[in-house]
Structure 1
């Protein structure tokens, strides 16, 4: 039979395509399997033609595939046809791999058929995983750097409850024989100081722990309060007033990595403290607002000198800092964290009489 120009052209395209192209009939039997598929799956064309497409799928997909086709033919309920999605394929050696699958439908001699275009995503997924690992390492380095900057103040603050514990225990021992009630009161105060010291250590551990991107449902208010507490503890002299009255009393839950969101809040609050440290009456305010059922915003503002115009256009670029000993990666990483959570971090320029005159940073996060 003579091949038409269009048929020859189509055959050449299928044979030279870098993406895998497979065609099946309504029973799931493969009748087209181009050379790119052999490179992707490891099976030759002779191995696959005439067999069910399920041989190229992990068992959890294969056992239901024929039912999917039957349901679609009977009801028109398309789960993947005309949409495309990322799924897992099965190679000849039994290994699974991520792939992008787009499925179309056509009719040949009155029979319904399906064609799929497959792109191997193994390298892309590996590159994304490596990028996440690098971002995680930078994020951890930034947290360690922030705690290191607060190190002397944290050590001083931790030493206070430890000293108090020693004094209370000594006083308790002296009073134990002559005044048991006083001794019990001293023991209670020592216990409270132990709790205080433990809280400080716990806040530090939360900041410097390595961790991966472990997302779960968290209370955003609790994260903000904890970040503010750590920054207040670390501040030498405790001069700044952090106004948290703008936080809602209700629980605001988001799906996020608690370590990363805590890092963003510590960075923003710590920057505000640094910006106001030389003022006679330093002020910092944290506000939160649920904008709509899908979004919550947190704003950190201060009455410092604001952001130097020379830095504003590259404020979130890495290694840009106005601090003498800063690494310049804090805001850059915070910006990346916000975006990786489907949100944003911005410097707010608009002003009104209710805002403090310094810098205003707005963190926006999805509630879902």
Structure 2
């Protein structure tokens, strides 16, 4: 009795469906898992022919399956089993694997069918087939696209080869034009600057504020144009590979004091440049002209993007490993979204507004720094200023 109860419990709680039929195909027992699969309660199944759970043509051929097994015991319905289709009460179909075995019980033979639902496996197989077909289609499309790309690249290669000579000629023409324009524009700009200074000087006895205001505007415009010309000329030389650093020893403190004095003259009202040096040594071996250009450019930016009545810190340091140049202001700062583009040519931050500039200065500073084997870094917060640090290894 205990063994029978255990066997019944196993059948009732089995994950797969289990059905027993007699030698005429009539259903004798069905477990809960099979009822769930076929959507029938036990009382609607027990006593009926098992063919009720099969769609055509399996339903019509079922009796032949049983007769064949009784005659031949062919293995296609024994053991691992075969894949068949089940018919649910609501008319839907589902695939399952059927394994059938015969059992001698109470002096007669009954057949036990073990039903393993294959719905998920079939869905996965179908999805895999669709994915494989999709991949094949993609491969075909990519292959076709690649062929077109190769053909286009070949054509482009031929066009590039033909245009290289023209591009070289245009480059030489551009270089000559930029150089000529920069030098030719300097002469009238110098004349305008001199004339403005003379007008300012001759107008002194009259003490006319309008004259001073407009003379200052002329000088400021000339200064801006001169900066633009210098930037374009420097960029042209860099692009043409004409800038070669010349390393010589010089006094960094002396150079920095000269730069501070020069830049203080163009600072805004009550805008003070404070210079300080750290270290017992003041001699470095760098390209003096390139370093001066870098410092002037960064200080000019600090002046431009800071307000009146502010301080600009200009610090240098020489230690055992590095020569460091730092310029710090309390100006408008650089938006975080713009910082990754800061050293790109012609790029200007979005908060510069109407402040004049070419967007070339920091690109030139970065390239000059690189030519001297240095590294430039910065920290900035909007409305809290910017700190630029150039580090050269000793």
Fold match (TM-score > 0.5): no
- The structure that has the greater radius of gyration is 2
1 or 2 for the larger relative contact order (CA 8 Å, sep ≥6)?
A: 1
Would you tell me which structure has more helix in proportion to its own residues? 2
With normalisation by structure 1, the TM-score equals 0.40
